[in-house]
Amino acid sequence: MNDFHKFKTLSPALRALGALSMTLLLACGGKPATGGAAPTSGDAAQPTEPGKTTEPTTPGDPNAPTSGALKIVSSLPRTGSANAQTTTIVNGIKMAIDDIGGKVGGFTVTYEDWDDASAKKGDWDPEVEAGNADKAVGDKNVVAYIGTYNSGAAMISMPVLNKAGLLMVSPANTYPALTKPGTGEAHEPAAYRPSGKITYFRVVPADDMQGAVGARWAQKMGAKSVYVLHDNGLYGKGVAAVFQQTAEDLGLKVHAFEAVDPKAQEYKSLMTKVKELNPDVVYYGGTTQTNAGQLVKDFVAVGATGKFMVPDGCFEEAFIQAAGAENANDRVFVTFGGVPPEKLVGQGADFVAAYKKKYGADPEAYAVYGYMATKVAIEAIKAAGKHDRWAISEAAAKVKFDDSALGKFEFTPDGDTTMATMSGNVVKAGKFEFVTLLSNE
């Protein structure tokens, strides 16, 4: 009860501080509005706080150590609904680390699985992603950052990591403008690389390719009209928009471009509307997590006929499980970047066998991406040969695979994968079945 009074004598001090703050705010508020011109800047790259041991290393630092302990970390949403997909990614990452027995050259490499989701959001949380980026930059042993899962999260951590020269490899970001100039806003992707150097790479093809390829495939299968749905997320909307654009360019009739509420229980009303228009193909830009399974299910439930096409966010067993094999069979078509693992020969086949042995299940698309993202980091460390972030990032740009779990690929100057093979798959007897290779011509 007397607690209340504690504030009494403190308040003059507080009042003074309050007044001070107000003065400061007013003073600054009165300045000409040049604020907008200030360069952006999470400054995390300058770890100059006293006591911090990290020193910014510059490329070519001859004194960089060539042995010691290095860390690869991943920042993926591990709490909440994305957990299913990120678990398979993490499995892939662990396999890549196990493959090399935790050793690269003179270095020992350990892996840490960081969560960029919080219990309070139940999904990726911008604050946590920003915190992870800061932590990674602050820990001098971290030399590679595998992530993120969500492109929105990448927008937050990319500039921070880029300034520190820290290598970032994403197993899942597909938003085109993260790397490709001219595909998004004017400031993209420059805003994500404040140092001017490329430190971000992705092993998945961006949406601009996948959406286009999907539309072409739909046309080849004889579609005259399409109905485009998306989940109003960065990924789903992006890929659906490209699909719609390409479909229009190809002369297909696009009935609608409509977002759904990915948390809704069911979509029978929506599908009834779709059924009335009788499109040849319904495209859904979304993932298992954003209810693609339920859409397929209700599409069938209202008695609609026609094909249903989805992007690689649904290329996983969990999607068929969610949609119900009986609904998805022979009706659902999935595009995927790269050749499906089971069609691979050489290293790809080895990967599939090893994965099956270790986890008792066929690897999902995401597992392959996670595995390859980590491989890129490992190859970069090997090539750089020293504990120097900038050097490792530079080395990553030159990483090249003649044969891998994703086939042959290297990186474009923007950090995109050169892998231009997309595959078209269909659900048959409760499994994905490879149909054809797709290309953007």
Partner 1 sequence: MTATATARRPVAPKPLWKRFELYLLLVLVIYPFFPFLDQAISAISGEQLRLDRQLVNIMIFAILALALNLQVGYAGLLQLGIAAFFAIGAFTTGVVSVEKYPFQFGFWGSIIMAPIVAGVAGLLLGAPTVRLKGDYLAIVTLGFGEVVRVVTLNLDAITDGPRGLSPIPSPWIPPDLAAGLGDVAKQSHFVTMYFVALIVLIALVAVFTLMERSRAGRAFVALREDELASACMGLNPAKTKLAAFAVGAAIAGFAGALYATNLQTTAEPNTYDFNYSIIVLCCVIIGGLGSLRGVLLGVGVLITFDSVLSPVLTKLIQKGVGASDNVFLSLTNWKLMIFGLALILTMRYKPEGLWPSARVKAELHEGTGGDK
Partner 2 sequence: MELVIQQLLLGLTNGMVFALIALGYTMVYGILELINFAHGDLFMLASFLALTLVGLFGLGDASGGTLAVGLVGVIVVCALFAAGLNWVVDRVVYKPLRKAPKLAPLVSAIGVSFVFMNLGLFWGGLPMDEFGGGVAPAAPKSFPELLPNINLLGEDATLRVTPKDLLVIVSSLVVMAALFWFVNRTKLGKAMRATAQNPVAARLMGIDVDKVIGATFLIGGALAGFAAVIYSLYINTINFQMGYQNGLYAFTAAVLGGIGNIRGAVLGGLVIGLLRAFSDQFIGAQWQPAILFGTLILILVFRPTGLLGSTAREKV
Kindly list the residues in this chain that would bind partner 2 in the complex (CB under 8 A): 80-85, 87-88, 119, 122, 229, 232, 258-261, 263-270, 272-273, 276, 288, 291, 293-294, 297, 300-303, 316-318, 321-324, 326, 361
If phi over 0 gives left and psi between -120 and 50 gives alpha, with beta otherwise, what is residue 341? alpha
Out of 186, 357, 429, 441, which residue is the one contacting partner 1 (CB under 8 A)?
Answer: 186
Q: In whole angstroms, give the CA distance from residue 318 to residue 333.
A: 15
Pick one of partner 1, partner 2, none as the site partner of residue 155 (Cβ within 5 to 8 A by kind). Answer: partner 1
Pick one of partner 2, partner 1, none as the site partner of residue 56 (Cβ within 5 to 8 A by kind). Answer: none
Out of 91, 162, 173, 327, which residue is the one contacting partner 1 (CB under 8 A)?
Answer: 91
Pick one of partner 1, partner 2, none as the site partner of residue 427 (Cβ within 5 to 8 A by kind). Answer: none
Pick one of partner 2, partner 1, none as the site partner of residue 66 (Cβ within 5 to 8 A by kind). Answer: none
For partner 2, the closer CB: 254 or 435: 254
For partner 1, the closer CB: 186 or 429: 186
Q: Is 294 in the site for partner 1 (CB under 8 A)?
A: no
How far apart are CB 84 and partner 1 at their closest, in Å? 11
How far apart are CB 172 and partner 2 at their closest, in Å? 15
Pick one of partner 1, partner 2, none as the site partner of residue 402 (Cβ within 5 to 8 A by kind). Answer: none
For the chain, the maximum distance between any two Cα atoms, rounded to a whole number of angstroms, is 80
How far apart are CB 100 and partner 1 at their closest, in Å? 15
How far apart are CB 56 and partner 1 at their closest, in Å? 11
Pick one of partner 2, partner 1, none as the site partner of residue 385 (Cβ within 5 to 8 A by kind). Answer: none
How far apart are CB 178 and partner 2 at their closest, in Å? 24
Q: How many residues bind partner 1 (CB under 8 A)?
A: 85
Q: Is 43 in the site for partner 1 (CB under 8 A)?
A: yes
Pick one of partner 1, partner 2, none as the site partner of residue 35 (Cβ within 5 to 8 A by kind). Answer: partner 1
Pick one of partner 1, partner 2, none as the site partner of residue 42 (Cβ within 5 to 8 A by kind). Answer: partner 1
Site for partner 1 in 401-440 (CB under 8 A): none
For partner 1, the closer CB: 26 or 429: 26
Q: In whole angstroms, give the CA distance from residue 430 to residue 357.
A: 22
**Of 173, 176, 175, 427, residue with least CA distance to 314:** 427
Q: Is 25 in the site for partner 1 (CB under 8 A)?
A: yes
**Alpha-carbon torsion, ordered 283, 365, 73, 122, to 10 deg:** 50
Q: In whole angstroms, give the CA distance from residue 430 to residue 269.
A: 26
How far apart are CB 366 and partner 1 at their closest, in Å? 15
Out of 131, 306, 324, 385, which residue is the one contacting partner 1 (CB under 8 A)?
Answer: 131
For partner 2, the closer CB: 274 or 396: 274
Pick one of partner 2, partner 1, none as the site partner of residue 114 (Cβ within 5 to 8 A by kind). Answer: partner 1
Q: Is 306 in the site for partner 1 (CB under 8 A)?
A: no
Q: In whole angstroms, give the CA distance from residue 205 to residue 252.
A: 24
